Amino acid sequence: MLAYTLRRLWQFVPTLAGVVLLVFFLFNWVGGDPAYLLAGKIPNPETIANIRKQLGVDEPYAVQLWIFVKQVLSGDFGVSWSTNERVSEIFASRLGPSLTVLVPLLAISTLLGMAAAMLVAYVRGSLTDRAVMVACTVGQSISILVYILVFQYLLAYQLGWFPVQGWGVTFIDNLLRYAVLAIIVGVAVSLAPDIRLYRTFFLDEINQDYVRTARAKGLSERRVMWVHVLRNAAIPIVTNVLLQLPGLLAGAFLIERFFGIPGIGREVILAVERSDFPIIKAVTVYVAVATMVINLLADLLYKAIDPRVVLK
């Protein structure tokens, strides 16, 4: 196990190098000259030159790349182009709100998804099964934007059950008042794809020979499903949940943006809208590292819960 972990960590290096190169290629090369963007309405050559000097984009590419690499290794990405806050400080403060929404969201949608998927898999082929599947398909075909707009309008604006936007001070206040609507929308959006995916996992297991053996032993259907099938299906489900995490971190940005939750996602959207390159670069690198670490954790977890797995 230790040898495997070390080998995987060692493999991080070329991938991270690739990510750094990709980000550099996108933002420093393709990205064009940000000086014009920031110079304001009257770009006189002196101002432009000054800004370029400040940002460091007047240096040759090799030097810029070296500067970026140093930033990555030290974790200090400089300051935001729009707010002048230190980038690393921005993240530290934004992580909390993001997790306050994400963790309950993940937990609730997984549990609901699993329960629904197991029930549907059990009555496979019946009208209920087909109806639920079609409902899921329809649910997935509505853009997340619509969910956000409609839920916000109906539940917050019209009915006033939740605040339309905003964030509070204490953790409990946030969790129980401000995050609720965001979590509801998030669960509504993830439920359909989760049910479809988990249903496949359950079906794969239900059709296996060992289920037939369990029935041949005279075990009740309840036990067959809840002990034998669930234990096997849990393996891909749990690893899947873990792997969703990096995507959620960045993907919840729409939810955060519209509900005014000061999380990482919202920061990213604002940065993109303002062409605030240091933030976008830093997020990309941070999330890439997080993804690689989470992938490794998922593989180790897989090994822990599936006795058959031999890590090579």
Closer by beta carbon to another protein, 62 or else 216? 216
# chain residues binding another protein, by CB under 8 A: 75
User: Least Å distance between CB 156 and another protein?
Assistant: 11
The reply on whether position 254 binds another protein by CB under 8 A is yes
Q: Which residues contact 35 (CB under 8 A, 6 or more apart)?
A: 43, 48, 51, 52, 55, 57
From the CB of 172, what's the least distance to another protein, in Å? 30
Q: Using the rule CB under 8 A, which residue among 189, 237, 283, 299 binds another protein?
A: 283
Which residues from 213-252 bind another protein, rule CB under 8 A? 213-221, 228, 231-232, 235, 246-247, 249-251
Considering only residues 74 to 103 of the shown chain, the ones binding another protein according to CB under 8 A are none
Q: Mark the segment that binds another protein (CB under 8 A) among 58-66, 97-105, 170-178, 205-213.
A: 205-213
148-167 residues near another protein, rule: CB under 8 A: 149-150, 153, 157
Beta pairing partners, 79: 86
Q: Residue 46 or 209: which CB sits closer to another protein?
A: 209
Q: How far is CA 17 from the centre of its chain?
A: 22
Q: Which structure tokens are listed for 312?
A: 């090579």
Residues between 109 and 128 that touch another protein (CB under 8 A): 124-125
Per the CB < 8 A criterion, the answer to whether 257 and 269 are in contact is yes
* Chain residues 20-49 in contact with another protein, contact rule CB under 8 A: 22-23, 26-27, 30-32
Residue 115: CB minimum distance to another protein, A: 20
- The pair phi, psi for residue 141, each rounded to 5°, is -85, -5
The CA angle 98-99-102, to the nearest 5 degrees, is: 90
Which tokens hold the place of 294?
A: 């989470």
We find the least distance from the C-beta atom of residue 37 to another protein, in angstroms, to be 9
141 binds another protein (CB under 8 A): yes
Question: Segment near another protein (CB under 8 A), from 54-62, 72-80, 96-104, 268-276?
Answer: 268-276
By the rule CB under 8 A, 55 interacts with another protein? no
Rounded to 5 degrees, what angle do the CA atoms 110, 222, 219 make? 140
Alpha helices in the chain (DSSP H): 2-24, 34-38, 45-55, 61-74, 87-122, 127-140, 144-151, 171-173, 179-206, 209-216, 221-223, 230-251, 253-259, 264-273, 277-305
